Structure 1
Amino acid sequence: MATDPSEYEKAIPLLAAHLAKIERAVDRTRTSHAGQPFAAVHQALAEALQDEDARNVVPQVVEELARQISEAPASR
């Protein structure tokens, strides 16, 4: 069953808004928690995503982002 291309066009602004929420949460967590232990980063990222109302982020994606932030050098 083919999907009407106009449905994709309608979805793009919604996807862009959702991705912007995720990006804000990640940026905020990276700024405040870079280089900290994984558990602390994961918790902070989960809270930031919740604060941004960014639902339905795949848990493995959250874990990978938290790992990358944890392993990044701390900001000075």
Structure 2
Amino acid sequence: MTADPSDYEKAMPAVSAFLTKMERGIDRTRATHAGQPYSAVRQALALALEEEGARPMVPQVVDELARQISEGTDR
């Protein structure tokens, strides 16, 4: 089964908007919580993503992002 290329084109504006919201939440959290304990970062990140409208998020993705912010790494 192959995907219709027009389905991809139709979905891209929504995907792009979601990624922009996600990036804003991550950037906000990184600016205010970089280097802080994981639990504080995780809570702040979850709140920032919710406030930006970047929900639902896969919990493991939020965990990994929080770990990176807490450790002060970008990847």
TM-score (norm 2): 0.92
Unaligned runs of 5+ in 1: none
Question: Which residue of structure 1 aligns with residue 50 of structure 2?
Answer: 50
Structure 2 distance, partners of 1:60, 1:7, is 27
Structure 2 distance, partners of 1:72, 1:6, is 40
Task: Note the 1:1-76 alignment, pairs <5 A.
Answer: 1-72=1-72
Deviation beyond 6 Å, 4+ runs, structure 1: none
Q: CA RMSD in A?
A: 1.2
TM-score (norm 1): 0.91
Paired residue total = 73
How far off is 1:56 after superposition? Answer: 1.9
